[in-house]
Chains A and B, each alone.
Chain A
């Protein structure tokens, strides 16, 4: 079974600085998708960024980018120019391309932005 691990329960960063959230996963599959979701205090789950495992190029969405290391099974999220609105729980998630389409989530990282 696939597992996702986020080893940082909490992180904090100064406004306008850069922060990196870590995620590792375990799978025997070669074809899959990885996601970062953000959950602000409103509890709405919001997609931040998506990475296809077959793509070597790291995904980027404005201030958000990932460092995808397939061999190391690592998928970290970098947030540049942190803003107060970035404060939230961040979840890393895995989805198989082959089988049942459920998302397997990590434990989450609570990100605090210090003004």
Chain B
């Protein structure tokens, strides 16, 4: 029973392409997130959605566009990929209450060549 799943787990693409990463959670959580982990392992929030509504957008280039078709899904679309977009992208979910932990997906390693 996978709680938070992401597809694909690995993505290799060329500069200038457009790609999407999909995330699904079966925990019934209200809130979902995208985090980026760079080559130095630093993790930083990108977006957060609560019940399909965007609540956090952290100075992310507008080439990145999250989409939440329903509260169980949060997809990340990236236009015109750049070398600097190479990273591991994590999806996470949690109940709305801040006291609860966030449950992370397995991550998607994006490599832009």
Contact B33 A33 (CB under 8 A): no
Q: Please pick, from B40, B98, B104, the residue contacting A95 in the complex, using a CB distance under 8 A.
A: B98
A104 to B33, CA, bound (A): 13
- List residues of B (59-108) whose CB comes within 8 Å of A's CBs: 88, 90, 92, 94, 96, 98-99, 101-102, 104, 106-107
Contact A97 B106 (CB under 8 A): no
A8 to B19, CA, bound (A): 36
With known contacts A91-B43, A100-B56, A105-B44, A43–B96 Cβ distance under 8 A: no
Interface string of A84-115 (1 = CB under 8 A from B): 00000101000111101111110110000000
Q: Which of A19-27, A45-53, A67-75 contacts B (4 or more CB under 8 A)?
A: A45-53
The secondary-structure label for the interface of chain B is: strand
Q: Which range holds the interface residue count of chain B?
A: 20 to 34
Interface string of B39-51 (1 = CB under 8 A from A): 0111111001000
Contact A33 B107 (CB under 8 A): no
Contact B44 A101 (CB under 8 A): no
- List residues of A (8-33) whose CB comes within 8 Å of B's CBs: 32-33
Cβ–Cβ < 8 Å partners of B58 in chain A: 102
Kindly report which residue of chain A lies nearest to residue B99, judged by CB atoms. A33
A38 to B56, CA, bound (A): 24
Interface residues of A (CB under 8 A from B): 32-33, 35, 39, 42-45, 47, 50, 52, 89, 91, 95-98, 100-105, 107-108
